[in-house]
């Protein structure tokens, strides 16, 4: 789309409303306040118009045919160009849970249609002011692309779950195709940019074809596509949980190249959520690749301009022309690198926040129900035990022992339920949405939250030793402790696990090793102190040639599908945003040793902005 056309539509509002009566009323109200309104009747139509015009704001009814307003907002947030477009959701009334669902999907505001028109107009103007400050100045030729899903399964006439899954994916805004005969697939499937799927879902439990062989063939094709520089699709397998050899079959599935394996018993909604996560990562890598291609194109353009400047050196100062070209190249590279870093971090944390919010919501309701009934049962047992104590029945002692045992079991249940509550609390702490702000952090508490989330990976054999010698408080971004420390400790656990001997199964399959976290204050010669984190592990260590490249984006030593190569690159950029340093070396016992050093700031000075509302400086961004 030409830039001038995009500027013409910068103040246009996209109205998504299926009711002609409501659409006419809202449109007249908005046009009466000077807005240009373009109306469509469904979320799918709204997505299809984005290549023709990019609106300044989207106003969507929550209840729409097909995808609802929340699902439309989620689709817009998955695209790098449309991610900053404000979304205002309107509904007939405040229904319980709808506002929270809409806002968690990525909407910016949620207003009943019965609200005062002046209030709606004020909210629209406020959102447009925010969008004007962050709107992209240049747009790619194609603005928006809906995710494409291919489902490889037999004809769904006798499989109710398949059409339900396809309907759910289409409501999410994806383009879904059904392939009942995988023998017709050809390698050209992955070379057509207009039809290549972002995710392939394979029914592994059907008898009409060999699902494992299909996975192997698709993985072979996408490895060839990966060598050509493209981003290959994700592969998800769906299997029957009742399979007698489920453990051995799962291992063969992942060896065949599958990225994720889900039981069909989880239901279409949960399966669609797992597919959404794979698609989000795929689209993120597409955006990163597009940014890299644009960077290379701009680099070539700057080099051409530099050559042209050299050709006309007789008419102008050659030194001045080269200096100008170098400045333009440095500025272009800096902007593209910053954009790429923000894109990766924003999409990753938004994905994690959405999943954590959904998990916490699903766990809290049954957990509260169980805790309430547990207390009722405990009180009932106490009353029965009191009645038994006053009873003169000869069998009193036997019944009393059983009742006391029941009361002890209820106490044990209470410990387990409280542990689940603490896990949900830790997930919420980790996924909080203010990691872009500087605030006062309790370092030990934050580190323990990270340890709690890594409990499953660390297992019972990897011992984590703490030596907290630095002050408890540090004024920083939450991402410094959430992303950086978690990435490093997770990599340490992977290294320890990879270094286990082949006979690990003799010891019960438990990885053994040690990770140490040491914090202290370092006194610099300039009078300013540094807050230092040192993380060492007992793994095999990192080779010197790998240490030189370990912080490069997309560099990884893990197998294909096991790592993206972005974890340590993101950690390095976060530490740099704090004007600190991140280095790697060898530990005394032979493992890896990561050292994080940031300027120590115990908190904002008197008269400064509150920690929770103070944004990053330009340098830190």
pLDDT of the residue at 251: 86
pLDDT of the residue at 74: 83
Confidence of residue 40 (pLDDT cuts 50, 70, 90): very high
Q: 566-601: buried (b, 16+ CB within 10 Å) or exposed (e) per residue?
A: bbbbbbbbbbbbbebebebeebeeebbbbbbbbebb
46 or 161, which is more confident? 46
- Looking at the structure, tell me whether residues 453 and 563 fall in a common domain: yes
The domain boundary residue, chosen from 401, 427, 453: 427
Count structural domains, the chain: 4
Residue 33 phi/psi, 5° resolution?
-105, 15
Half-sphere exposure of 298 (CA within 13 A, CB side): 20
pLDDT of the residue at 608: 44
Q: 181-206: buried (b, 16+ CB within 10 Å) or exposed (e) per residue?
A: ebeebeeebbeeeeebbbbbbbbbbb
- CA separation (Å) from 319 to 126, 315, 325, 327, 520? 47, 12, 10, 12, 49
| pLDDT of 555 over the 70 cut | no
pLDDT of the residue at 208: 86
- Looking at the structure, tell me whether residues 91 and 234 fall in a common domain: no
Q: Is 166 exposed, middle or buried (0-12, 13-18, 19+ CB in 10 A)?
A: buried
518 in helix, strand or coil?
strand
The domain boundary residue, chosen from 285, 307, 328: 285
CB 307 within 8 A of CB 329: no
Considering all CA atoms of the chain, what is the largest pairwise distance in Å, rounded to the nearest integer? 117
Most confident of 20-29, 320-329, 597-606: 20-29
What percent of the chain clears pLDDT 70, i.e. is strictly above it? 71
Reading the block at residue 73, the tokens are 């907002």
- CA separation (Å) from 141 to 212, 347, 494, 617? 39, 22, 41, 32
The DSSP code for 437 is B
CB 189 within 8 A of CB 171: no
Kindly state whether residue 53 falls inside one of the protein's structural domains. Answer: yes
Kindly state whether residue 227 falls inside one of the protein's structural domains. Answer: yes
- Looking at the structure, tell me whether residues 130 and 156 fall in a common domain: no
Domain with residue 488: its CATH number is 3.30.565.10
Q: How far apart are CA 506 and CA 488, in angstroms?
A: 29
CB 163 within 8 A of CB 156: yes
Lowest-confidence pick of 39-43, 216-220, 456-460, 515-519 = 456-460
Kindly state whether residue 621 falls inside one of the protein's structural domains. Answer: no
pLDDT of the residue at 616: 34
Reading the block at residue 619, the tokens are 């340098």
Kindly state whether residue 298 falls inside one of the protein's structural domains. Answer: no
Cα 497 from chain centroid (whole Å): 25
Confidence of residue 353 (pLDDT cuts 50, 70, 90): low
Counting every residue written for the chain, the total comes to 621
CB 58 within 8 A of CB 87: yes
- Looking at the structure, tell me whether residues 156 and 266 fall in a common domain: yes
> What mean pLDDT is predicted for residues 292-314?
78
- Looking at the structure, tell me whether residues 461 and 595 fall in a common domain: yes
Closest CA to 614 of 473, 430, 476, 517: 476
101 or 184, which is more confident? 184
Query: pLDDT digit string (tens) for 117-147?
Result: 888 888 888 888 776 655 554 444 455 677 8
pLDDT of the residue at 254: 86
- Looking at the structure, tell me whether residues 179 and 119 fall in a common domain: no
Residue with tokens 């779950």: 161
Domain with residue 163: its CATH number is 3.40.50.2300
pLDDT of the residue at 68: 85
Residue with tokens 């016992």: 589
Q: How many helices (H) and strands (E) does the chain have?
A: 18, 17
> What mean pLDDT is predicted for residues 304-323?
71
Query: pLDDT digit string (tens) for 180-209?
Result: 888 888 877 766 666 788 889 998 888 888
pLDDT of the residue at 609: 40
| H-run or E-run covering 526 | none
Q: How far apart are CA 20 and CA 24, in angstroms?
A: 6
> What mean pLDDT is predicted for residues 487-503?
80
CB 57 within 8 A of CB 13: yes
pLDDT of the residue at 475: 86
Kindly state whether residue 41 falls inside one of the protein's structural domains. Answer: yes
Kindly state whether residue 143 falls inside one of the protein's structural domains. Answer: no
End-to-end Cα distance, the chain: 29
Confidence of residue 603 (pLDDT cuts 50, 70, 90): low
- CA separation (Å) from 450 to 150, 464, 565? 36, 12, 21
415 in helix, strand or coil?
helix
- Rounded to the nearest 10 degrees, what angle do helices 268-311 and 161-171 cross at? 40
Reading the block at residue 289, the tokens are 């690749």
Question: Which segments of 49-143 does DSSP mark as H helices, in order?
Answer: 69-77, 98-104, 117-134
Closest CA to 159 of 205, 192, 225, 111: 205
- Looking at the structure, tell me whether residues 154 and 242 fall in a common domain: yes
CB 60 within 8 A of CB 23: no
Query: pLDDT digit string (tens) for 235-249?
Result: 888 888 777 787 888
- Rounded to the nearest 10 degrees, what angle do helices 117-134 and 20-31 cross at? 70
pLDDT of the residue at 466: 92
Reading the block at residue 195, the tokens are 């039809």
Q: How far apart are CA 247 and CA 24, in angstroms?
A: 58
Kindly state whether residue 432 falls inside one of the protein's structural domains. Answer: no
- Looking at the structure, tell me whether residues 442 and 523 fall in a common domain: yes
143 or 36, which is more confident? 36
pLDDT of the residue at 118: 85
Residue 263 phi/psi, 5° resolution?
-80, 140
- Looking at the structure, tell me whether residues 416 and 506 fall in a common domain: no
What percent of the chain clears pLDDT 90, i.e. is strictly above it? 7
Pairing of strands 462-468, 513-523: parallel
- Looking at the structure, tell me whether residues 268 and 348 fall in a common domain: no
- Looking at the structure, tell me whether residues 449 and 597 fall in a common domain: yes
529 CB-near residues (< 8 Å, 6+ apart): 521, 522, 523, 599, 600
Q: How far apart are CA 37 and CA 27, in angstroms?
A: 6
Residue 37 lies in domain: 3-134
Domain with residue 374: its CATH number is 1.10.287
Kindly state whether residue 619 falls inside one of the protein's structural domains. Answer: no
- Looking at the structure, tell me whether residues 104 and 156 fall in a common domain: no
Lowest-confidence pick of 19-23, 75-79, 389-393, 617-621 = 617-621
Radius of gyration of the chain (CA): 29
- CA separation (Å) from 96 to 4, 116, 178, 508? 43, 21, 36, 49
């Amino acid at each position: 789309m030409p830039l001038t056309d995009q500027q013409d539509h910068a103040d246009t509002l996209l109205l998504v409303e299926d009711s002609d009566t409501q659409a006419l009323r809202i449109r007249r109200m908005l046009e009466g306040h000077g807005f240009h309104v373009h109306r469509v009747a469904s979320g799918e139509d709204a997505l299809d118009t984005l290549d023709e015009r990019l609106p300044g704001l989207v106003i969507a009814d929550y209840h729409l045919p097909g995808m609802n307003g929340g699902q439309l907002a989620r689709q817009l947030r998955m695209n790098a160009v449309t991610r900053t477009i404000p979304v205002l959701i309107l509904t007939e009334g405040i229904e319980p849970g709808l506002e929270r669902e809409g806002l968690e999907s990525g909407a910016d505001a949620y207003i009943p249609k019965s609200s005062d028109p002046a209030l709606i107009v004020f909210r629209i103007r406020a959102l447009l002011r925010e969008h004007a400050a962050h709107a992209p100045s240049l747009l790619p030729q194609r603005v928006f692309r809906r995710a494409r899903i291919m489902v490889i399964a037999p004809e769904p006439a006798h499989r109710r779950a398949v059409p339900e899954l396809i309907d759910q994916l289409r409501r999410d805004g994806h383009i879904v195709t059904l392939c009942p005969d995988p023998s017709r697939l050809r390698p050209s499937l992955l070379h057509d940019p207009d039809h290549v799927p972002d995710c392939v879902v394979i029914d592994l439990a059907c008898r009409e074809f060999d699902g494992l062989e299909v996975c192997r063939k698709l993985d072979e094709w996408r490895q060839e596509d990966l060598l050509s520089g493209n981003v290959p699709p994700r592969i998800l397998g769906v299997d029957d949980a009742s399979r007698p050899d489920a453990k051995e079959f799962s291992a063969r599935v992942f060896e065949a190249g599958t990225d994720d394996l889900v039981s069909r018993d989880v239901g279409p909604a949960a399966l669609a959520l797992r597919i959404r996560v794979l698609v989000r990562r795929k689209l993120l890598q597409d955006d990163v690749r597009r940014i890299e291609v644009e960077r290379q194109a701009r680099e070539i353009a700057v080099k051409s301009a530099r050559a042209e400047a050299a050709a006309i050196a007789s008419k102008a100062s050659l030194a001045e022309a080269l200096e100008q070209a170098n400045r333009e190249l440095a500025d272009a590279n800096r902007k593209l690198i910053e954009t790429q870093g923000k894109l990766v971090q924003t999409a990753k944390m938004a994905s994690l926040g959405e999943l954590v919010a959904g998990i916490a919501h699903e766990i809290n309701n049954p957990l509260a129900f169980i805790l309430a009934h547990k207390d009722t049962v405990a009180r009932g047992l106490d009353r029965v035990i009191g009645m038994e104590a006053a009873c003169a029945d000869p069998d009193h002692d036997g019944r009393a022992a059983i009742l006391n045992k029941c009361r002890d079991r209820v106490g044990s249940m209470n410990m387990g339920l409280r542990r689940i509550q603490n896990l949900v609390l830790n997930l919420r702490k980790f996924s909080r949405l203010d990691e872009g702000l500087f605030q006062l952090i309790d370092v030990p508490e934050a580190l323990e939250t990270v340890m709690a989330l890594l409990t499953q990976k660390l297992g019972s054999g990897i011992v984590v030793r703490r030596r907290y010698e630095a002050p408890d408080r540090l004024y920083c971004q939450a991402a410094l402790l959430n992303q950086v420390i978690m990435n490093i400790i997770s990599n340490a656990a992977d290294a320890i696990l990879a270094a286990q001997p082949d006979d690990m199964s003799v010891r019960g399959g438990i990885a053994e090793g040690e990770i140490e976290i040491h914090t202290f204050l370092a006194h610099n010669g300039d009078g300013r102190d540094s807050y230092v984190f040192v993380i060492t592990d007992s793994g095999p260590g990192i080779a010197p040639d790998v240490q030189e490249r370990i912080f490069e984006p997309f560099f990884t030593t893990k197998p294909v599908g096991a790592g993206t190569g972005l974890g340590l690159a993101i950690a390095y950029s976060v530490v740099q945003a704090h004007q600190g340093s991140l280095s790697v070396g060898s530990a005394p016992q032979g493992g890896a040793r990561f050292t994080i050093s940031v300027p120590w700031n115990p908190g904002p000075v008197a008269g400064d902005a509150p920690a929770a509302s103070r944004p990053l400086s330009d340098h830190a961004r």
